[in-house]
Structure 1
Amino acid sequence: MKKLFFTLLFFGFCFMLSAQTEPKVGDELVINAQDGASYNYIKFPKLNILSKRGKVANYKSVHGNTVVVDEVITDKNNNTYVILKKKDGSKFFGFVSEVKANYDKSIAAGEMATKA
């Protein structure tokens, strides 16, 4: 009986942990500074596109931005993608209103963080 109780407690704890990692529409996230040259799991425009548009070719303008989850998409491989918009309503780099990101991988890589 004791083993059954601890087994159920363990499964309940695992279920609660997995339920908290799913994004919902309206969740707020923060875009962190990236160590490398580009973001791997957030689909920002490439640097050459930014320079062609007359913008400075770096991603420093998005560091620390608060974004809101506008849409949650789960594909057939159980990858969770989110559509992100800036909280203040402005556009990324002055011309992109929303970006797509792989939620689980970008959180794990440190590109995004949940707002505490």
Structure 2
Amino acid sequence: MKNVILTLFFLGFCFFASAQSQPNVGDELVINEPTAVNYKYVKFPKLNILAKRGKVANYKSVYGDTVIVKEVIANDDGTTHVVLERKDGTKFFGYLKSVKANYNKSIEAGEIAPTT
């Protein structure tokens, strides 16, 4: 009985681990605050570009935003990139309709996270 419970637990863990590594079009993600000053794996514009466009030079306007995966790009080297758009349809920083992100590395770094 103990072995059956442990086996079911292990299979459930494997199912959830594999579900996170493969994004699908339409998945909802949340943009978190980066651990450094800039986002490393989500390709937002640099802060000096935002300042030149007359915007406030910080990323606080995207913290906690819900985004939708619009396209999944699987490369030959095994990396997976996703194209993200805001769920409410507004533009990032007033001029970007979508941004590209390295899915696996940005999840590991905590820059984006699946919604619960």
Interval containing the TM-score (normalised by the shorter chain) = 0.7 to 0.9
| C-alpha separation in 2, matches of 1:92 and 1:64 | 13
The TM-score, its normalising length taken from structure 2, stands at: 0.86
Displacement of 1:36 in angstroms is 1.3
Displacement of 1:19 in angstroms is 3.4
Extract structure 1 runs of 4+ deviating beyond 2 A. 12-19
For the pair shown, the structure with the greater C-alpha radius of gyration is 1
Partner residue of 1:3? none
| C-alpha separation in 1, matches of 2:17 and 2:31 | 22
Which structure 2 residue ranges, 5 or more long, are not aligned? none
Which structure 1 residue ranges, 5 or more long, are not aligned? 1-5
Partner residue of 1:83? 83
CA RMSD, Structure 1 to Structure 2 (Å)? 1.8
| C-alpha separation in 1, matches of 2:34 and 2:56 | 17
Identity within the alignment, %: 55
Q: Which amino acid aligns with 2:47?
A: L
The TM-score, its normalising length taken from structure 1, stands at: 0.86
| C-alpha separation in 2, matches of 1:44 and 1:67 | 14
